[in-house]
Amino acid sequence: DAKTTQPPSMDCAEGRAANLPCNHSTISGNEYVYWYRQIHSQGPQYIIHGLKNNETNEMASLIITEDRKSSTLILPHATLRDTAVYYCIVRVASNFGNEKLTFGTGTRLTIIP
């Protein structure tokens, strides 16, 4: 699976959009970009995933550059409950289940009141 690089920490004001970047310059054509987050002392929570098109769901938007070497997770209106560690993961889609997720160190996002 491709390696990802994320900033170790970021702050964002409550109510503003939080933009979390991720570099994955060695991504292969069949690898998806996944985002998970982990709120303190809880298990990681799936947020969104994409291959090459931008994706949006009720939690966030995922913007993937045309060359697929980087992506940005956008939380449109950050709340205090969005304070968490955010993990960007790149892996091949599996036909048999979730298989192995390789978590990096992630970005610790702090929402400031």
Stretch that binds other proteins, among 7-15, 16-24, 76-84, 94-102 (CB under 8 A): 94-102
Which CB sits closer to other proteins, 34 or 78?
Answer: 34
**Closest distance between other proteins and the C-beta of residue 113, in Å?**
27
What are the C-alpha distances in Å from 72 to residues 10, 56, 96, 100?
A: 13, 12, 28, 22
> Would strands 107-112 and 9-13 be described as parallel, antiparallel, or unpaired?
parallel
Q: Are 110 and 25 in contact (CB under 8 A)?
A: no
The nearer residue to other proteins, 41 or 66, going by C-beta atoms, is 41
Footprint of other proteins (CB under 8 A): 32, 34, 38, 41-46, 49, 51, 87, 93-106
